[in-house]
Amino acid sequence: MLKPNPTVASMAAYALPDISAAEGVEPIVLAQNEHAFAPSAAVQRVVSEAVASGQLYPDTDWTELREAIASVHGLDAGRIVCGAGSMELMSSLMLAYMSADDRMLMTEYGYLFMRTLSKLVGAKVDVAPEIDYRVDVDGLLARLQPDTRLVFVVNPGNPSGTLIHNDDIRRLRAGLPDDVLLLVDEAYAEFVEPDFHAPLFDLAETSNTVITRTFSKIYGLAGLRVGWGYFPEEVRDQLRKIINPSSVSSLSQAAACAAMSDQGYAAQARQMIAEQRGLLSQAIAELDLSVVPSQTNFILVDFESPGQATAAFDFLRQRGLVVRPMGGYGLPGCLRITIGTAEQMALTAATLEDWKDGVGD
């Protein structure tokens, strides 16, 4: 029999959510933190134009895309690396820097994909508790080990949706030995009002810190798979040895360039999502359920018990609303709900109210 790599053979399949609704019901999927809106007309146009050159390989240097990103964020384009989603950048970083002799330190509710990656390379994982669903910098620093090689923080967090101040991330960096790599996953950063979130990119120029971002969230290109990161030059060079240079298709690059150049769309989306997030959070709070204050395009609802969370999940699903159970994150009493359109959010609030009222019992 064909034998896989023993590490891979011992791993469980990556846990993907079941996003089907009850039979015969058209699902409204609020389980994957996808954007509520389709890409702009400008993005759709450039993608259809790019198909005409589909016989050619994509630009393996992401030249235009890196320039577009650098110009919006005031960065050095030379330090930007793009990938098929930020997941690809995380995988490559893990392969380039981590082995069975190393430890990764992350927070309690940090993105689970990183745990899967650490298993792949055999690295040990240490976990620092979060306080009130927030990253705790002191907790992280207290758990540093001599063989900690990578510290991973998601800000704003998923599934918490909470934000810690970037001054705290700087304090974390200052408390780490220079040769520890700090990875800050900012997949949801663009949902935060810019005034509250001073950029952190300079850390990649002055220390072993990597900042990753994605086009999957506020730019609404999850299906096109484009992420990017800002890297120290040395880390960039290692990463580029192993990253698939053609993984971001020419259509995806064209779409991401157009999306980056249309900051008006992103600003409008940020405002609309914030408004709907506020309305849904308030409606849920009025049902005497606890909502973790979020800065992202999702909210975490904390039910009285795991049984209540499961009952609410089933009730929503019967009505076609597919949200995300959080048992995989060790939060069986919570559901995560992606912020969608005004209509979807009104339906979600009304359905949760029906559930609370015992309709359909």
Ligand X SMILES: Cc1ncc(COP(=O)(O)O)c(C=O)c1O
Residue 86 C-beta: closest distance to ligand X, Å: 4
Contact range with ligand X by CB under 6 A, out of 132-140, 172-180, 214-222, 331-339:
214-222
**Furthest C-alpha separation in the chain:** 60
The number of residues that bind ligand X (CB under 6 A) is: 13
- Quote the distance between the C-alpha of residue 316 and its chain's center: 24
Do the beta carbons of residue 219 and residue 262 sit within 8 Å?
no
Residue 16 C-beta: closest distance to ligand X, Å: 11
Collect all residues with Cβ–Cβ distance below 8 Å to 333 and sequence separation of at least 6.
Answer: 302, 303, 304, 305, 306, 308, 309, 326
Residue 50 C-beta: closest distance to ligand X, Å: 20
Residue 338 as a binder of ligand X (CB under 6 A): the answer is no
Residue 86 as a binder of ligand X (CB under 6 A): the answer is yes
Q: Is 6 left (phi over 0), alpha (psi -120 to 50) or beta?
A: alpha
Angstrom CA distances, 201 to 42, 103, 209, stand at 28, 25, 9
Q: Which is nearer to ligand X, 188 or 315 (CB)?
A: 188
Site string for ligand X, 22-51 (x = CB under 6 A): -----------x------------------
Residue 313 C-beta: closest distance to ligand X, Å: 19
Residue 260 as a binder of ligand X (CB under 6 A): the answer is no
202: its two tokens:
């300079």
Residue 108 as a binder of ligand X (CB under 6 A): the answer is no
- Count Cα atoms within 13 angstroms, Cβ side, for 271: 5
Residue 130 as a binder of ligand X (CB under 6 A): the answer is no
Binders of ligand X among 174-203, rule CB under 6 A? 185, 187
Place of tokens 């810190």: 209
Q: Under the rule (CB under 6 A), what is the footprint of ligand X? A: 33, 85-87, 111, 154, 158, 185, 187, 214, 216, 222, 227
